[in-house]
Every structure is written in structure tokens, then in C-alpha cells.
Amino acid sequence: MAKFKELEYKSAKEEIIKLLDTFKSLNFNAVIFQIRPVADAFYNSKYEPWSEYLTGEKGVEPIPYYDPLAFIISETHKRGMEFHAWLNPYRAVVDYKESNSTGLNLIDENPEWFVNYGKNKYFDPGIPEVRTYTNKVVADIVQNYDIDAIHFDDYFYPYKIVGEEFHDENSFKKYGGNFHPNNLDDWRRNNVNLIIEELAITIKQIKPWVQFGISPFGVWRNKSTDPLGSDTEAGQTNYDDLYADILLWLKNDWLDYVLPQAYWYIDHEKANYKTIAKWWAENSYQTNVYLGQGVYKLNNEKINEAWTKTNPTEIGKQIDLNRSIPEIQGNVFFSAKTFLKNTLNINNELKGRYFQNPILPPISIKNNNQFPEPVFDVEIQKLKKRTYRLRWNSMPENKEKEAVKFLVYQFDTDEKIDFENKSKVISLTGENHIYINKEQLRNASLFVIIAVNRNNNTSKPVRIER
């Protein structure tokens, strides 16, 4: 899975295609795409203006018009990958003194909702109307787009700035309730807990199959502060500084996955990747855990020489470690730019050593018992002299049960059919066909197609021999 948030080429559509083709070639099975960097939108929003990061000017729609979110979802699904819609819940304006606020009527109409902190402007999490508004933004996306997940990263309350206070004293006076002024931290944590619980309910009420995932800072708490914390010395932590009590959310089953940003290297003195990986595995509360890995640091000796080594790279070593821990069910890489540059030949390393074949993401909702029907009308069509098309149909059903992608295996006819042998997977696609060449249609060739629904539950296999 790859995370990315910036469009750099002249044609946004061309870059999207380039990125997705790159991910597909690496057998990635999901992408996390930033659709709301601040209080703006990479989609046709009911509530917020078009993003200047998309068009160059806030409030101006793409010309010629298209809906970037609808486009990238379609292209992602076509390639058999999940689409996770990445939002920042509280960041409203970056560098607010320099930013053009045209189109942000929300700030003019509700100035009390916002706090200036550092160079940025943030929604105040302590105001109930802010939670209501955020729920509306998320509900609009879930209702109108065929996304697979809503994704938040680590920006809840902002990272602390030395010598500067986050001025939410007015909202505390008004909404602090039974919290004592000495318990301001607990009140702030409660504010974030409330929005996470409310969003979990909002998402599932609209579309039960849509996942809710969080990508928190890699350290919940240090062990020196809390015996339940990790053996780390992080300068800031989720619980104490960002007021994000991730463990509570996992205990209460509010999340479908947690994706800690473990952007350190193995044997880091204060935040050892190995220590962090094992801590999250031991504290997952049976929630899917994917480890966030900092591919953007590769080849940067200023950070540490660990990031400059090859065969394997630091990322390769981390993947090896992840795969030795059963509770860690995937890897997520930040950011996409690294794969376009192929830094330290990382693409070849990942494809050659770790992701040789397509693989399904884990089942997201454990108690979901909806399974797609098997495919039918399977046939092999000859198109040209050396090109063929393997095609099939699937049954249109309710959204939870409906087949949205397909796994295709290839075996020899006298070979034992073993679906655990991932080397036999030749395609994971969102279309109802794949193209195969004459060499693939050797005399003893057997294809097996398995339908997959939105929860990654699978159908009974259907086979066709050539």
C-alpha cells in the first residue's frame, strides 16, 4: 500500500495513471490518497472549496471539469486495488498569514471554531459544532463515492510548539463540563475520543463495509511515563501531546485498522523500529495492524546511514521483521514520490524479493459473513495471433456481497490446486477479464477465478482448462 498527497505533473490525470500503474506493477493492493489536505477538497464537496493544491487556486474547479476523486477511485478499482480516502480532520489553513482565504466562507461565518497555532489555523476539537461539521464532511464522501476506507493520519491536536499555547480556553470554559481546569489534557483527549466514536458510527450507518483507519504517530506513550507504553524516548507522543488515545479506540473497536507511522530505523537509540513494531503487535486488540514505513528517508545519510544501505535496504529489513510477527498484517509506504524516483532501486527490491505476486488485503470486518457468488460464463477468446482474453461474468448483488475484484490463478492440469501458493496468482483485477499470451496457454494450462467482495471475502473457485 502506498500513501501519496501531491500532484506534480502538468496533467493530474496523467500523474494519477502513472502512479497507479507503478503501484500495480509492484503488486500493491491499496492506495491512500489525500483528498482533504486542509478545509478544502479534491472532489465536488457540498461543504468546502476546491483545493488550491489541485488547481493552483482555492475555490476554482478543474478546467476542463472532472471530479478527481471519482476518477482516481475508478482507476484504482479497475486495477484491483482498494482506495482509502485520506483526510485531515482538524487542519484548516496552512500558513494562514500568507494563504488566500478566498472561498473559505466557513472561517468568516464561524471564527470561533478556529485556533491559530504556529503558522497554521486549526478547527478547535473542543467545540461540538466542529464535530458535527466534520461528521457531515465525512458522511458526504462516504455517501457519494465508492471508497473502501476513510483514513486519518496523526494530525489531531497539533504537535506542540515550544513556548506557544494552543488557545482553547474559551471552548473549555463553555464546554468543559465536569472536567477540572487541571484536567485540560483529559478534556482534550475526550474531545478526540468523541469525534472518533461518532465517525465510526457515521461511516457504518451509511455503508457498513467502508473501513475506518487511523495512521497515528508511531509512539502511543513512552514506558518512562506509563508502564503500558513502549520502551522508547519519543519527544512527543500520541497520548500526551496530540491527545489521541489510540489504545482506547482499539479497545472499543472503533477502528478497522491502525497504521502507526514507524518512520524510524531498526536499532534507533530512542525509537527502535523493532521495539515499536512489537509494541503495536502486542497492543492491537485484534484490530488489523499495518506498519507505516518511511521510504522517503531512503538514501538520506543526513538522517542516518541506515537509510543508505542496500541488499536489503532498511525498508527490506523492516519488511522481513514485519513478516516474522503474525499480528502485523501489512506494510504501508510513505510516500509515492520514492517509487517514481526508484530510490536505491527500491522498486526492484520490493517486486523481486517481497511482492512477486498479487495478494489480497486482509479481511477488514471480522464478523462480516457476506460472500460473493462464483463467476460464470467463463471463456477464453482468441483476439489476435498470439493474444487471448480470459473473461467471465459475475452476479450483481447487494453492495456488501457484490464481487468488486477477482483473483486469477494458473496451474498445470496435473498439478495440485493449492490456493495458499501465491506464486500461482497471475492477476488481481477489478475488471471481468485479463489478457494472456500464447506462451501462457501451454498445453497443460488450468485457470481458476475467485470473486472477491468489498470485505475481501472470497467466492468458491471456478476453473477453466485450455
CA terminus-to-terminus distance, the chain: 34
Q: Which pLDDT belongs to residue 384?
A: 80
For residue 300, the 8-state DSSP code is -
The mean-pLDDT minimum among 61-65, 126-130, 191-195, 421-425 falls in 61-65
Task: Tally Cβ neighbours within 10 Å of residue 153.
Answer: 23
CB contact at 8 A, 255 and 213: yes
6 pLDDT higher than 60: no
pLDDT of 440 reads: 82
Domain boundaries, the chain: 2-354, 376-465
Q: Work out the average pLDDT over 385-398.
A: 92
Helix pair 314-323, 273-282: axis angle to 10 deg: 30
Residue 315 has which C-alpha cell? 525498508
**How many alpha carbons lie under 13 Å from residue 432 in its C-beta half-sphere?**
12
Domain 2-354, classified CATH 3.20.20.80, yes or no: yes
pLDDT score recorded for residue 367: 82
- Over residues 248-300, the pLDDT tens digits come to 999 999 999 999 999 999 999 999 999 999 999 999 999 999 999 999 999 99
- Mean pLDDT of all residues in 404-420: 93
The per-residue pLDDT for range 429-445, each reduced to its tens digit, is 999 999 998 888 876 68
Q: What is the CATH number of domain 376-465?
A: 2.60.40.10
Query: DSSP string of 356-367?
Result: SS--PPPPSSTT
The pLDDT mean for the chain works out to: 94
- Are the beta carbons of 34 and 136 closer than 8 angstroms? no
| pLDDT higher than 70, residue 32 | yes
Q: Say what the pLDDT of residue 442 is.
A: 73
Q: What are 311-364's pLDDT values in tens digits?
A: 999 999 999 999 999 999 999 999 999 999 999 999 999 999 999 999 999 998
Confidence class for position 100, pLDDT limits 50, 70, 90 = low
pLDDT for res 149: 98
Dihedral angle over CA of 167, 171, 172, 177, nearest 10: -170
Q: DSSP letter for 449, please.
A: E
